[in-house]
Structure 1
Amino acid sequence: MSHALDKEMMALSLKEEDEPFMMPDLPQFRSTERNARSIIGRILNPDCQKMSALIHDIPRKWQKQGRVRGVALSKECFQFIFDHEHDLIDVLEKGVHTFNDWALAIDRWVEYPPEDYLQYINIWVQIRNIPVNHYTVEAITVLAEILGEVKVVAFDPDKPQVQDFVRVQVRFHVSKPLRKSKVIDLKEGGSTVIKFNYERVQKRCYECQRLNHERDVCPLLIKQRKEATAERRQRVLQEKMRSEKFLQPDDPLFGVLSEDQVGISAITGRRKISQEVLDEMRRYLLMATDGDRLVRVERVRSSIAEAEKDPKIRKTILRLEAEPVVTKQLDKGKGRVFDFDLNSPVDANAKERSEGRKLMAASMKAYKCEQPSLVSQEIQLRTSQVTKDLVLPRGSVPYSVQDKEDGIAERRSGSVPLAINSTEYDTGYLVTKPSGVVKKTSHPRRRPYIKKRKEQKGAPSNILQDLYGKEGADTKIEVKRKGATEEEEEQHVAQRKEPRVIPTEGSPQSR
């Protein structure tokens, strides 16, 4: 029955037709009216800005607690819905907003956002070191256009100016770096450096001046480190190749092969020809006579030249490296790739093919999960039986012959375990030791013999001697405590029923 059910489950197909779902165009399915008083934002540095903390802390930072509520739309985008329009306008007019010292891209909600939505922020910039001959609104606007689209220029030439800068609001693209200065060439000759300072911008990458990462993970800095490492490695290899001469003047191969042929490869960092191959070449040339020496030299040169043309021969014969093993097991030793750019999409057909195997594996797993409960029930049964046997009165027979035979049959069938696991504990009858589980041995009570007990009973204690003397103590030992009379018992009960005195109100009247 189970086999047929498994076959039917394997034959089922979970693949659905991928047809788009049409959202109903009804008023109750739209939140346009509520979103009209909301802003949409995006965190620029997800590594340093946690969405849950932002939703809870931003209303307090805006001083709008109880009048605004946040919604996490995704891992990077969020929405804040305001109860009043003036609170929304007040937040937007403050300029750049930050959380955890990193900037946020915030804009008012629109029903159909453009392509560059949440890609720009309005920043107030302080422009310094403006040439005195170009202190005009037009010149200041042109200088601010270097950073982005100019929105507002805070400059009045008819009033005194006490600051050494002019404030300009620009629409800045969040993916560009924050320029700190710019060299300006003047028509009358010379040049000057214009400096820019950004208001309400706290942290940034101090390597590329961008707002979306820290300096430690800056792509430019990582690229520079890789290039410096590769350059340093190349320099070390070149110095090692220049310092090490594999062919000395007294070497038989000197003049036969060049240093480039027997040196270290700049790409792999390994020797081009193995030391064993070079030794065999030396022996081959040393065994030559004056007549065939030139022939042997030519053979060595031609064989090396031919081997260098084929990468396989160069690997196996010149470097004496083993050929790679080719296997038809495509998933042999396969592991997970922790690079999201290289991950391939999930194959739906492969998932369906493995669905049948998963059904059988799930049923086996469920059966294994039920086994510990059965074992625990058997252990409790056996523990209760042991407890029952231990509390039987002395002289009684704990087991009958039939019970004993049933117990032996159960042990043979394997339904009751022969010993409890050494890592489990029970109530007082079994103890755990390094070597396993053993029965706890009970020590019998050791009472003194009768003569000694009588001597201890007859001997007066020091306390009685101090109270009554030696003779009085002897008499007090033999006197037994008498029961209270009925009159004394009634008097004792009456004393208990007497109401207590309250200090501030006097004694109550007893009824």
Structure 2
Amino acid sequence: MASLILDMPRKWQKQKRVTGRDLSKERFQFIFQHEYEMEEILNKGIHTYEEWPIVMERWVENPPPPDYLQYVDIWVQIKNIPVNHYTEKAIMALGDLVGKTTVVAFDPEKSQRQDYVRAQIRFNVANPLKKSKIINLPNGGGSAEILYFYERVQKQCYHCQRMTHEKSSCPLLVREGKHEALKRRHDGEERKIREDKVRKSVREVEKDPVTERIALRLEDPPIVTEDLNRGKGLVFGYETSDSTSAKSGSRGRQKLLGDAIRSEVSSSLVVFKPVDNPVQEMSRVFPGIVPTSGDPTVYKIGLFEATSSEKTKKRGKPTKRPYVKKRRLRKVGEEMEQEAGSSQSGSVSEGGSKKRISESENSDGRANWRKPNEAVPNEGLSNA
């Protein structure tokens, strides 16, 4: 305020003819030596200091009215006026949309070189400065957006568009900030309460493994079945008691049929008929498979035939041919005996069988009883 008292008289170029007084942090008073100088300053319209507008009125001795120091005269430029509405009444009505129109600078007899029309309005500084206004044209002419530009108004709040404060100290933003802080505090308490409820619910769910698997891990629960043999396929059960076998008539058939269906053997449906002696029946149906000794329910593949004893194995006539080494020694003895008797080939008989002896000999005197390039036939296993 002290700087304003000193700078404003110099700005008006009336330093020694005007004196100022500091009344408060927001109000001041200037005293002019001549009244016409005061009228000159008031008629200039809005004044600014450090780019902020100043509201100035004539001082009154009696208590001021409620709207004292609330209005200022501002020149405003009105743009985008429809071409059919360039009249004094239309311009006055457009000015009244943002304030009270007092002067209209318009002459329809002269050419207009600007794209706007000027009008002076008495503006209430408590209201925001409107930058535009959409109006509906008469006679179904549609709508138009009227633009306003305020002369000599530099600083204003860019949130509420008022000339009394900056954006950083806007009462609306301060009120919104307090409301947001209160809301955050309230939401924080509610959030804490909700988090406590969620933690409590999770702890309760973790006590039950099935519920934890479904709710927390989002997995399918395990399937509980009363079928103890599920997944085994076809299950064969043999009972030693005749009463048990007779008792498992229709019930056993239904069990085997159910096992076959559950093991997905629906393409080849098998129905089993209960018999008194299952081992004998299996030996009759499958002659190549008989139970092993010691366990009649275990089967193996071999050259077997089903018999009444269920354990008799049919064997062929055993081979009485001597082992290989003995046969070789016998052959060598026969060759030596043949060389001593005669040089011609002959036949010797032993055990009722004939064998031919080769006449040829090797260079070292040994009998050539096997040719190297001929393959030895499969002589079978030795009986030694």
**TM value normalised by structure 2:** 0.49
Q: Which one has a larger percent strand, Structure 1 or Structure 2? A: 2
**TM value normalised by structure 1:** 0.37
Q: Which has the higher contact order (CA 8 A, sep 6+)?
A: 1
